[in-house]
Amino acid sequence: MRKKIVAGNWKMNTTVPEGVELAKAVVAKAAGVPSEVGLVIAPPFTHLACVAEVLKGSGVGLSAQNCADKEKGAFTGEVSVDMLVSAGCGYTILGHSERRQYYGETDDKLVTKTRLALGAGLSVILCVGENLDEREQGRQFDVVSEQIKNVLYNFSAEDMARIIVAYEPVWAIGTGKTATAEQAEEIHACIRKVLADKFGAGVADDVTILYGGSCKPSNARELFACPDIDGGLIGGAALNADDFIKIALSF
């Protein structure tokens, strides 16, 4: 049985003290979330070690938002997978559209980063999704299938046990526009089919596929009711502990 997960991507928001307070608020409310729903938060790099202390014993997972594509050495400003593990992370987000768009994250780079992350023992939340032009041209299935193939077809069925996919239509991120449940479900089903073609139906069936893009308490229930939507990657609404937990209670 695949896991249900609600993950919060804090992006470049909160100072360290604010982040610690937000993490404490999430932990305080996490006890009310059924045990079959995994909670993960992804604060900025600077917060990770402090937030890890707050999360100890809570069952809430800690994720980075990115990692370096190199192991170690003279790469000023980069953060390695070993650093993330030593700071207490169990996950890293990779391939978020903001990184693809503003920081030149390519599928090739994501293969390297995913390999390093898995090698260090991290689980990977791999983001995919089409932009508005691509959707208007009706290319969403092709774009997302290519992103999945370009990255994940380089890995093994065993590796897939530590891969979570997040479908995030770029036109829905931070815009207030959410994909309808039908639009999201048909892409999730397509992702599962692309995974099944390579790894077999059993493996594909066990992969958690999250929806991301203006997911909030008012629309989470309808999205999470879809058969191939296993939770959410939450941006803006994850900056409010009440909203984040309400979303986690929407299954």
- Of these, 233, 241, 245, 248, which contacts ligand PEP (CB under 6 A)? 233
Residues 82-111 binding ligand PEP (CB under 6 A) are none
Q: Which is nearer to ligand PEP, 69 or 98 (CB)?
A: 98
φ/ψ of 52, rounded to 5, equals: -60, -40
> Minimum Å distance from CB 97 to ligand PEP?
7
Using the rule CB under 6 A, is 235 a contact of ligand PEP?
yes
**What residues contact residue 4 under an 8 Å CB cut-off, 6+ apart?**
36, 37, 38, 208, 224, 230, 231, 251
**What residues contact residue 177 under an 8 Å CB cut-off, 6+ apart?**
171, 213, 214
- Separation of alpha carbons 117 and 173, rounded Å: 25
Catalytic one of 96, 98, 105, 188: 96
- Residue 188 annotated in active site: no
> Minimum Å distance from CB 93 to ligand PEP?
8
Using the rule CB under 6 A, is 168 a contact of ligand PEP?
yes
User: What is the Cβ-side half-sphere exposure of residue 206, based on CA atoms within 13 angstroms?
Assistant: 12
Catalytic one of 105, 134, 168, 185: 168
Using the rule CB under 6 A, is 33 a contact of ligand PEP?
no
Using the rule CB under 6 A, is 65 a contact of ligand PEP?
no
Using the rule CB under 6 A, is 123 a contact of ligand PEP?
no
Using the rule CB under 6 A, is 164 a contact of ligand PEP?
no
Binding residue count for ligand PEP, defined by CB under 6 A: 13
Q: Which is nearer to ligand PEP, 173 or 204 (CB)?
A: 173
> Minimum Å distance from CB 215 to ligand PEP?
6
| SS3 of 49-118 | HHHHHHHCCCCCEEEECCCCCCCCCCCCCCCCHHHHHHHCCCEEEECCHHHHHHCCCCHHHHHHHHHHHH
Region from 133-141, 181-189, 217-225, 235-243 binding ligand PEP, contact rule CB under 6 A: 235-243
> Minimum Å distance from CB 154 to ligand PEP?
23
Using the rule CB under 6 A, is 212 a contact of ligand PEP?
yes
Element of type H or E holding 142: helix 140-152
> Minimum Å distance from CB 5 to ligand PEP?
13
Using the rule CB under 6 A, is 17 a contact of ligand PEP?
no
Element of type H or E holding 234: strand 231-234
Which residue from 188, 112, 202 is spatially nearest to 150, judged by alpha carbons? Answer: 112
- Separation of alpha carbons 194 and 204, rounded Å: 8
- Residue 96 annotated in active site: yes
- Separation of alpha carbons 49 and 55, rounded Å: 10
Using the rule CB under 6 A, is 174 a contact of ligand PEP?
yes
Six-digit token pair at 235?
Answer: 């941006």
Site residues (CB under 6 A) for ligand PEP?
Answer: 9, 168, 173-174, 212-215, 233-237
The catalytic residues are 96, 168
